[in-house]
């Protein structure tokens, strides 16, 4: 809501409907959800289905991993030692057959192992020569540093067991079926399906909710024309539709109040001009305190109407300006300080500037200048003659910070936020200092329009106003409609 419309909302609030708009909006939302209860329940069912399925698959995957871990440990503790003992026994039996009865007995023993266990069994010399055929099978030997090898090579099971003295090596090729890859296949399928469900949840649930959250955040910062595009019929679609309906009513209310205030200001100008003329003619015939008081009040009222009208005209011109621009914040601050120095010098006040180079993207330079103009004017008005004002610039992370400090009397802590209310003035200064109390309200709205903040703090002595502007990236430039 614009600053001036806030002060006049009470004047025409009695013309609005008795039922609060928010209540009507929520009632309409509830009715819509009742009419489309099937769509409202669909998201709940899908969420439950996705959650149960994902939990089941995760539990299955964890169970398979635990089972695989236990099987591996059991193999290492119980099965592997048994196989190793069997391999040594077969090696010793083959060696004894060769040494006691010759190659024929060895061949018969190895064939019996082939028939019993499948695959092919060999007894090799230390250099890898087959002691039956004389062929070189050095590729079946384990590495020189190992006594045994048991595993898969190119999908085929291999076993090699050296004797303790290193003269013989018992080798086996292709005696078992590889089962490891099938187990890992189950893991892969479960992980792929679970990942797909999680991605679906992100795309279907989380991301739309984040878009709605960002829209609410932007709407709360003044982007009244922002709407959420959604064609869904579930709860998320209902939330988007309710937000759009609420935003439409709020924006229409703002426009109505703005137009009403403009019309009132315009209509009051002519009567005030006639009243001023009448007071001027009355003063020529009657010079007394009553006439002077009437004249003073007429001037105040004329100034009030004039400033409200000027504010609306200037703000409308800024908001309708296009496109957004990149702005040199340092140059804008220097120009504002230079313009304010004329008024400050008339009050014997000096302005000290500590600046640094900063570039703002997606901004309205004229609006930023208006912000700084009002902040500096406030500091000048509340500065004592002969004092000075400190203006400083610096950046922190992705923010540009401009501070303006005066050395006046400051503001009571409980009133630090009230100074940004439209038409608010300190009680002890209403008759001494010029202005209508709109400057800081306009300044805060201008900063918020850029996605920043403006707040005040006591500096002891004096007051420090801190304006924070985001250093927006060009790639994230919002459209004029979104703004």
pLDDT tens, N- to C-terminus, the chain (483 residues): 333 333 333 333 333 333 444 334 333 444 444 444 444 446 666 667 777 777 777 777 787 778 878 888 887 888 888 888 888 899 899 999 988 989 899 999 999 988 888 889 999 998 989 988 889 998 888 887 888 888 877 778 888 998 888 889 999 998 545 444 455 666 677 778 777 777 777 777 778 888 888 888 888 766 778 888 888 877 888 888 888 899 888 888 877 877 777 677 767 777 777 777 787 777 777 777 777 778 777 777 777 777 667 666 666 655 555 567 888 999 999 999 999 998 899 889 999 999 888 888 888 888 898 899 989 998 998 888 889 999 999 988 889 999 999 998 888 888 888 888 877 776 554 445 555 677 888 888 888 888 889 999 998 888 999 999 988 654 333 433 333
424 part of a folded domain: yes
What is the reported pTM?
0.45
Measured CA to CA in angstroms, residue 363 lies from 25, 368, 436 at distances of: 34, 8, 27
Give which of 351, 318, 344 is closest to 449, Cα–Cα.
318
User: What is the dihedral sign for C-alpha 10, 440, 369, 482?
Assistant: negative
Total structural domains in the chain? 2
Helix (H), strand (E), coil (C) string for 416-463: CCHHHCCCCCCHHHCCCCCCCCCHHHHHHHHHHHCCCEEEEEECCCCE
Contact 161, 28 (CB under 8 A): no
Asked if residue 170 is part of any domain, the answer here is yes
Three-state secondary structure call for residue 481: coil
Residue 243: is it exposed, middle or buried by C-beta count within 10 angstroms (0-12/13-18/19+)? Answer: buried
**Residue 96 placed within a domain:** yes
* Strand, helix or coil for residue 181: helix
Whether residue 386 lies inside any domain: the answer is yes
- Cα separation, 402 vs 395, in Å, equals 9
Structural domain containing residue 90: 53-178
Report the C-alpha gap between 376 and 369 in whole angstroms. 10
29 in a structural domain? no
Given the structure tokens 């890859």, which residue do they identify?
Answer: 181
Q: Is residue 151 part of a domain?
A: yes
Distance of alpha carbon 404 from alpha carbon 379, whole angstroms: 7
**Cα torsion angle, 85, 86, 91, 93, sign:** positive
CATH for 112: 3.30.450.170
């Amino acid at each position: 809501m614009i600053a001036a419309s806030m002060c006049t909302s009470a004047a025409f609030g009695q013309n609005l409907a008795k039922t609060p708009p928010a209540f009507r909006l929520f009632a309409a939302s509830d009715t819509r959800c009742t009419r489309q209860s099937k769509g409202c329940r669909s998201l709940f069912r899908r969420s439950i289905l996705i959650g149960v399925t994902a939990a089941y698959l995760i539990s299955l995957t964890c169970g398979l991993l635990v089972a695989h871990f236990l099987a591996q440990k059991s193999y290492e503790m119980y099965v592997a030692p048994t196989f190793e003992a069997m391999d040594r026994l077969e090696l010793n039996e083959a060696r004894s057959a060769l040494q006691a009865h010759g190659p024929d007995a060895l061949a018969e023993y190895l064939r019996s192992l082939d028939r019993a266990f499948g695959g092919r069994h060999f007894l090799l010399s230390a250099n890898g020569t087959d002691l039956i055929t004389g062929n070189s099978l050095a590729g079946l030997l384990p590495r020189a540093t190992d006594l045994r090898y048991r595993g898969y090579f190119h999908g085929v099971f291999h076993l090699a067991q050296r004797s303790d003295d290193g003269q013989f090596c018992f080798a086996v090729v292709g005696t078992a079926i590889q089962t490891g890859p099938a187990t890992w296949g189950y893991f892969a399928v479960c992980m792929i399906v679970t990942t797909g469900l999680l991605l679906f949840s992100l795309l279907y649930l989380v991301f739309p909710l984040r878009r709605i959250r960002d829209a609410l955040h932007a709407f709360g910062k003044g982007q009244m024309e922002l709407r959420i595009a959604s064609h869904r019929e579930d709860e998320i679609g209902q939330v988007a539709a309710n937000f759009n309906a609420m935003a439409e009513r709020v924006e229409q209310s703002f426009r109505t109040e703005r137009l009403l205030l403009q019309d009132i200001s315009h209509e009051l100008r002519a009567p005030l001009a006639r009243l001023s003329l009448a007071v001027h003619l009355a003063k020529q015939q009657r010079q007394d305190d009553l006439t002077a008081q009437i004249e003073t009040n007429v001037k105040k009222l004329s100034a009030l109407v004039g400033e409200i009208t000027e504010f609306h005209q200037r703000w409308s011109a800024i908001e309708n300006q296009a496109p957004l621009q990149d702005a040199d914040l340092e140059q804008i601050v220097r120009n504002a300080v230079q313009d304010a120095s004329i008024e400050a010098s008339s009050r014997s006040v000096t302005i000290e500037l500590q600046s640094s180079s900063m570039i703002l993207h997606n901004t309205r330079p004229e609006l930023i200048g208006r912000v700084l103009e009002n902040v500096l004017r406030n500091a000048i008005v509340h500065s004592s003659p002969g004092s000075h004002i400190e203006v400083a610039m610096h950046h922190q992370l992705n923010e540009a910070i401009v501070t303006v400090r005066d050395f006046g009397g400051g503001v009571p802590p409980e009133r630090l936020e009230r100074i940004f209310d439209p038409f608010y003035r300190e009680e002890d200064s209403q008759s001494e200092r010029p202005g209508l109390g709109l400057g800081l309200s306009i300044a805060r709205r201008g900063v918020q329009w850029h996605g920043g903040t403006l707040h005040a703090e006591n500096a002891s002595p004096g007051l420090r106003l801190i304006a924070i502007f985001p250093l927006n990236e060009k790639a994230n430039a919002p459209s004029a409609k979104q703004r």
